[in-house]
């Protein structure tokens, strides 16, 4: 019984040791900034009110105003509505 307790204690200490050194590796990495993942201007989809990067959006010009859409379905719904 004492051997089982000592074995459990040894395994638990090994687990804590590995976890400690893994956390040190994460602390040394440079932080990831949100500005690096999303670039450019965000625009709003007129149908589903979702914000998407302007360079990824589908565009439609109506009466001199530019509208942006996240998908073909939203663009089609907008064209059917007007």
- Our measurement of the distance from residue 64's CA atom to the centroid of its chain's CA atoms, rounded to an integer in Å, reads 34
Q: CA quadruple 28, 39, 42, 81: dihedral positive or negative?
A: negative
pTM over 0.85: no
Label residue 81 by pLDDT band (50, 70, 90).
confident
Q: What is the DSSP letter of 54?
A: G
Token pair for 3: 């051997």
Residue-wise pLDDT for 34-61, tens only, equals 555 556 799 999 899 999 999 999 999 9
Q: Where are the domains of the chain?
A: 1-30, 34-81
Contact indicator for 62, 44 with CB cutoff of 8 Å: no
Pick the CATH number of 34-81 from 2.60.40, 1.20.58, 2.30.170, 1.10.1060: 2.30.170
Residue of 20 and 34 predicted with greater confidence = 20
Contact indicator for 22, 14 with CB cutoff of 8 Å: no
Work out the percent of the chain whose per-residue pLDDT is above 70: 80
Contact indicator for 59, 53 with CB cutoff of 8 Å: no
Residue 8 has what pLDDT?
A: 93
């Amino acid at each position: 019984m004492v051997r089982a307790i000592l074995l459990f204690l040894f395994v638990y200490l090994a687990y804590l040791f590995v976890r400690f050194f893994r956390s040190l590796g994460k602390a040394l990495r440079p932080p990831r900034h949100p500005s690096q993942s999303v670039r450019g201007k965000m625009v709003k989809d007129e149908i589903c009110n979702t914000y998407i990067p302007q360079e990824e959006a589908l565009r439609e010009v109506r009466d001199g105003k530019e509208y942006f859409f996240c998908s073909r379905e939203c663009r089609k719904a907008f064209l059917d509505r007007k």
